[in-house]
Structure 1
Amino acid sequence: MERNKAIKDKVNEEDNKVFALLSNYLNNKPDFISKEEIDEIVKYGVSIEYAFNVIFAAALGLDIVDKVDDADLFNKYFNKMSHKLDANEYYNNSYFKNIKIPTIKKGNSELKYEKYKPYEVFVCNDIITTREGRQIPQIGFFETEFIFPAFLENNRIWMTITPNEIETMKEAVAKAFGNVLTFGLGLGYYAYMISEKDEVESITIVESNEDVIQLFSKCILPQFKNTQKIKIIKADAFEYAQEHMAKGNYDFVFTDLWHDVSDGIDMYLSMKEHEKQSPSTVFMYWIEKSILCYL
């Protein structure tokens, strides 16, 4: 038992170290790595992924050559953590292909395109948990510039459609059916993707931000093929869940109200309390797998 506890404590310690280093990097220098640095290492016959990981480890402050613990951390995490992504895979996504975002402002809200620089690091999927209980964040990078739609609030990026949103919504898109309720509108990615499904009959979207609703209704919704499926309700999500959700006879409910895990835990737990009112409804939550890692 003591040995098992020691192993678990060691894994938790290493998890925490990797998350702390990654968080600092993403917050302060996500575009630190350059193509020139990658090319300098690749010419020695290694892959782009390996070159990236070596430079990335150094940027995080790890010495994988002279420090055994740092080399061990590198071997345990980095190959499973970082991913070279194919930009064309995401540009061929039906939302990217069919929906065009204008540059427009309304109040403190703004629609525009943002971009990742080549080799810029970003979160690209939910945290994965290994058989030994190790929690490994998922980060991605592109070899070329990647342009994506964004919604800004007070000049701060609040909602985007990036590989992270696409990957972490795949399961909820695949499982949606019947009369769907979704909390949170954003750029309408989830609503668009499920509106294309024959199994989805209607989509009720609850959103509290009037500027978001107006921008979506004016600039994005008219580009949907199945606009007749969409109904938008301006309301607080938790008030609607408490007072109206059970009366709506919804088959499937998807909640996407938070920016990331840090601001999502409390809202996730609050919304989970409302599930008991609708026992026959299927509920799913954005980045739930990552949130559960912290509970």
Structure 2
Amino acid sequence: MDRSNQVSSDKVNRENAKVFALLSHYLNNASDFINAEEIKDIADYGVTYEYAFTAILTAAFGLDIVDHTEDKELFNNYFSKMVHRLEVGEYYNNPYYKNIKIPTVNIGNSELKYEKYKPFEGFVCDDILRTPEGRQIPQIGFFDTEFRYPAVLENGRIWMTITPNEIETMKEAVDRASGNVLTYGLGLGYYAYMVSEKDDVASITVVDSNQDVIDLFKKYILPQFKYAHKVKLVKADAFEYAQTGMPQGKFDFVFTDLWHDVSDGIDLYLKMKKFEKLCPDTAFAYWIEKSILCYL
């Protein structure tokens, strides 16, 4: 690599790190600070809600996108491709949302309930977008009205959800599934439900180690599946099952969803990848793999 390319690469890496630091602080500490009045005041000037949202966000970050050249470049290279106004109806029309009703119940340390995004609250809505230049652009979504989504809480902390992020980042793995399917990680059964609806899927084996989550699913969610007979639940450690049960099961497709986000997913992803060699004729997919690969 010549020096000019090295300088360019170093610059992109610094910009990536800056954007991720800014977004991390926002999402973890103040994801709901933007309000409808601010958005509408700016949108009245003829710009989109996405632009208004992004302008408020960059101003809160202390970026001057009018008079400061580097800030303007950062806006054009990252923020203009980052923020998305989502439609509530699109996700409420998702088959799982339409057909599965979530009660508010507790089993052990697990609580099943609906959580919500406030209007104009920001959240991660898809995998990181990676450009040919190596820029890594987080994908942030918002709704302009309240949006309710199913969640499982562990000891009062949100652990599993079905939000636009899960829906978008599982589309490819749902589309690719066929035959006898194995999935590691039950959650609220979104992946199992979507795959069970496919005519070319014969069975779905779901491996999870959390008995409380399995009990919640079996009692309140699985009975609502039209094709519940396709679903087999296995209480086991995912990596132990990958060593013994997976090779014996002769699965056509395996989907792994064991992590909460990239931060706890990298090591688990790399560990599970090693078991692929035990099933050379099986196709594998991993939740948020595109985002995880940005860090490897």
Output the CA distance in 2 between the equivalents of 1:75 and 1:180. Answer: 42
For residues 218-243 of structure 1, give each alpha carbon's deviation from its aligned partner in whole angstroms, at most 9, with x where no partner exists. Answer: 00000000011000000000011012
Matched with 1:75 is 76
Matched with 1:29 is 30
Q: What is the deviation of 1:43?
A: 1.5
Does residue 177 of structure 2 align to residue 172 of structure 1? no
Output the CA distance in 2 between the equivalents of 1:230 and 1:61. Answer: 51
Q: What is the deviation of 1:275?
A: 0.2
Does residue 249 of structure 2 align to residue 248 of structure 1? yes
Counterpart amino acid of residue 132 in structure 2? R
Does residue 161 of structure 2 align to residue 160 of structure 1? yes
SS in 2 for 1:289: helix
SS in 2 for 1:250: coil
TM-score (norm 1): 0.99
CA contact (8 A) 1:123 1:140 kept: yes
Runs of 4 or more, structure 1, over 3 Å off, are none
Q: Which runs of 5+ in 2 are unaligned?
A: none
For residues 56-114 of structure 1, give each alpha carbon's deviation from its aligned partner in whole angstroms, at most 9, with x where no partner exists. Answer: 11122322233221121111111211100011000000000000000000111000000
RMSD: 0.7
Matched with 1:58 is 59
The 5 A counterparts of 1:132-281 are 132-281=133-282
Does residue 259 of structure 2 align to residue 283 of structure 1? no
Does residue 133 of structure 2 align to residue 119 of structure 1? no
Matched with 1:18 is 19
CA contact (8 A) 1:22 1:60 kept: no
CA contact (8 A) 1:251 1:280 kept: yes
SS in 1 for 2:180: strand
Matched with 2:98 is 97
CA contact (8 A) 1:196 1:226 kept: yes
Moved more, 51-60 or 118-127: 51-60
For residues 101-139 of structure 1, give each alpha carbon's deviation from its aligned partner in whole angstroms, at most 9, with x where no partner exists. Answer: 000001110000000001100000001111212111111
SS in 2 for 1:74: helix
Output the CA distance in 1 between the equivalents of 2:125 and 2:239. Answer: 28
For residues 169-190 of structure 1, give each alpha carbon's deviation from its aligned partner in whole angstroms, at most 9, with x where no partner exists. Answer: 0000000000000000000000
CA contact (8 A) 1:221 1:227 kept: yes
SS in 1 for 2:149: strand
Matched with 1:85 is 86
Counterpart amino acid of residue 20 in structure 2? F
Output the CA distance in 2 between the equivalents of 1:121 and 1:49. Answer: 11
TM-score (norm 2): 0.98
SS in 2 for 1:65: coil
Q: What is the deviation of 1:256?
A: 0.1
* Percent identity for Structure 1 against Structure 2: 70
